[in-house]
Amino acid sequence: VTSSQNKFTVHKNESNIFYFPPSSKVDILQSLMYPASVDIDFIDKNTIKLTALKESVEPITLNIGQHTLELDIETKS
C-alpha cells in the first residue's frame, strides 16, 4: 500500500496481505479500528492480514494510521 487513499476488492473468507512501507524507522501501524465484518491480524509492525467475514453492499472504509483502505467485499464466484 503505497498511497494514503486506496481501493481494493476482496473476497469473503479469503485472506489478503497488506504491507504499508514505513516512511521512517519509527513509522509503524497503529490506531487501527475496524468493523466486526473483517478480521485483522498483525504479521509485523507494517503488515496486516485481513479477512472479510461477510460480503458488503457498500464499500467499507478502514483508517489505518495515515492510510485509508476502501474495501469492496464480494463473494468469490
pLDDT confidence bin for 77, thresholds 50/70/90: low
Is the separation of the CB atoms in 52 and 14 below 8 Å?
Answer: yes
pLDDT tens digits along 22-76: 877 877 777 787 888 899 998 988 899 999 998 888 889 888 877 888 999 988 7
pTM: 0.83
**Exposed/middle/buried for residue 48 (C-beta within 10 Å: 0-12, 13-18, 19+):** buried
Provide the terminal-to-terminal Cα distance of the chain, rounded to the nearest Å. Answer: 26
